[in-house]
Structures are given as structure tokens and as C-alpha cells.
Amino acid sequence: MAQMKAKPWFFIKKGSWLTLSVIIQPKLLSFVTMNPPSNKPPITPSTTPWTWPWT
């Protein structure tokens, strides 16, 4: 069985990586919004201890 040459696959891999990073990724990142920073302190909910039925 003939062995495939590695040279064209390197350029295919680099070309697909370049296409992803330059063309596709900025389009995908435009849909993702970052959470704005908040100056409020985080609110911790008040919890009550659990009453175990066997005590």
C-alpha cells in the first residue's frame, strides 16, 4: 500500500487553521457577549440549617 506524502497535508492543516482563526472565529465571537463588571458586592443567600429527621 502506497504511503501518502506529508507535504500537502501540512498546507491543508495550516490553511484550515488560518480559515478558522481569521474568518470563522470572529463571526462566532460576535454572538458571545461578555458580562459587564459589577461594582455591587455579591449577595449571599441566607440559609437555614437542615433539620435531620433522625436527631
What pLDDT, on a 0 to 100 scale, did the predictor assign at position 42?
Answer: 76
Per-residue pLDDT tens over the stretch 1-35: 567 666 788 888 999 998 888 888 888 888 877 77
Reported as a pLDDT band with limits 50, 70 and 90, residue 47 is: confident
| Listed residue (8, 29, 6, 26) closest to 18, CA to CA | 26
**How far is 17 from 14, CA to CA, in rounded Å?**
5
55 vs 52: CA distance, rounded Å? 6
- Single-letter amino acid code for the residue at 34: M
Q: How far apart are CA 32 and CA 23, in angstroms?
A: 16
